[in-house]
Amino acid sequence: MESLLRAAQAVSEWLDDPRNVPEGFGGPGSPANRLRRVTKVCGGSGEVWKAWSEAAGENPRLGTAEGGWHRVSQELADTAMAALAGIFHLSGSTEAVRERLREAALKSASRAGQWYLEHDGELPEGAMAPLSVLIPGGEALLRPVREGGDGG
């Protein structure tokens, strides 16, 4: 995790270097540059969609593309990195990036657990029950209570 956070910091600092801010964006601290930085994930999501379209063979005339689903996962990772660098750009702190990730993990895990609990433990065929979702440090985020059990 630490190397990922350091990488997000390095990417963010590189993108904010005045030599790398495109002309017309007013410099690293300008509102236009902030918009450029925060919306990099939008461009990334477009690349994810394009990779998915090619992997799925969505256009019958073109067929499927080389790289397939692996390329889709690469584009997702690129977009995630853009998001982490964007968080660093806004906060200037790897600790803030870690905290935003922890908050997102808690929110997502609680939604998954809530669905599981609301459906009396019934999941679609092949799905795995979110009995325990952990984050670094071993903090239990979700432990659905089992009948007659202690929740663990």
Which pTM does this prediction carry? Answer: 0.70
Is residue 13 classed as helix, strand or coil in its secondary structure?
A: helix
Q: Spell out the per-residue pLDDT of the chain, length 152, in tens.
A: 889 899 999 999 999 999 999 988 888 889 999 999 999 999 999 999 999 999 988 888 877 878 889 999 999 999 999 999 999 999 999 999 999 988 888 788 777 766 666 666 565 565 554 444 434 444 444 444 344 444 43
Q: Indicate the domain borders of the chain.
A: 1-92, 95-152
Task: For residues 81 and 150, give the distance between their C-alpha atoms in angstroms, rounded to a whole number.
Answer: 38
Is residue 145 classed as helix, strand or coil in its secondary structure?
A: coil
DSSP string, 36-72: HHHTHHHHHHHHHHHHHHHHHT-STTT-PPTTHHHHH
Report residue 108 as tokens.
Answer: 């997502």
Cα 110 to Cα 58, 91, 105, 138, distances in angstroms:
34, 25, 8, 16
